[in-house]
C-alpha cells in the first residue's frame, strides 16, 4: 500500500468536511422550509400534548384529510414527527422535544424583535 503524504490526507479530510458541511446545510434548509408553513407549525403544536391520528387533527385545523396527510408527510421526511400504525389508523407524535424548543426559540426571537426593533439600513 503506497504511503500517503500529510498534505494528501489533509486535503481528503478537508474535502470530506466540506462535503459534510454542505450536506448539513442542505438538510437544515429542508428542515426550516418544512417549518415555514403555518399549518405544519399548528400540527406540531397539536402534537405537543401527545400523539394524534389524522382524524383527530382534521376537525381542529378544519382542512381536508389529504391536506393533513400531506403536511404530516413533509414533517416526517425532515424528522420532526414519527408515526406508528395501530390497525388502520396511523398515530403521529413529535420525534423529539427539540422540535418544540426550536419553535420556542423562534417565538422568543420574534418577541425580542418586537420589543427592540432594529433599523435596517436601506439603499443609499
Tens digits of residue pLDDT in 16-59: 677 778 888 888 899 999 999 999 999 999 999 999 999 999 99
pLDDT digits (tens, 9 = 90+) for 64-122: 999 999 999 999 999 999 999 999 999 999 999 999 999 999 999 989 888 887 766 66
Count other C-beta atoms under 10 Å from residue 63's C-beta.
Answer: 15
Contact 109, 98 (CB under 8 A): no
* Short-list 93, 103, 48, 101, CA closest to 72: 93
> What structural domains and CATH numbers belong to the chain?
16-114 (1.10.10.10)
Q: Residue 2: is its pLDDT beyond 60?
A: no
pLDDT at site 4: 67
At 11, the pLDDT band (50, 70, 90 cuts) reads low
Q: Which pLDDT band holds residue 15 (cuts at 50, 70, 90)? A: low
CA–chain centroid gap for 120, Å, is 28
Q: Report how far residue 79's alpha carbon sits from residue 82's, in angstroms, rounded to the nearest whole number.
A: 7
In the block, residue with C-alpha cell 421526511: 77
Q: Characterise 92 by phi-psi region: left (phi > 0), alpha (psi -120 to 50), beta (else).
A: beta
pLDDT at 3: 58
Amino acid at each position: 500500500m503506497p504511503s500517503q503524504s500529510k498534505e494528501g490526507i489533509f486535503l481528503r479530510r478537508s474535502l470530506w468536511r466540506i462535503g459534510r458541511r454542505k450536506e448539513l446545510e442542505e438538510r437544515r434548509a429542508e428542515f426550516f422550509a418544512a417549518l415555514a408553513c403555518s399549518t405544519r407549525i399548528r400540527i406540531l403544536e397539536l402534537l405537543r400534548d401527545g400523539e394524534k391520528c389524522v382524524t383527530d387533527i382534521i376537525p381542529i385545523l378544519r382542512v381536508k384529510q389529504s391536506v393533513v396527510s400531506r403536511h404530516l408527510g413533509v414533517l416526517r421526511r425532515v424528522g420532526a414527527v414519527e408515526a406508528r400504525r395501530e390497525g388502520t389508523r396511523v398515530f403521529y407524535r413529535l420525534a423529539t422535544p427539540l422540535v418544540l424548543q426550536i419553535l420556542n426559540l423562534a417565538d422568543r426571537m420574534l418577541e425580542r424583535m418586537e420589543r427592540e426593533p432594529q433599523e435596517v439600513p436601506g439603499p443609499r
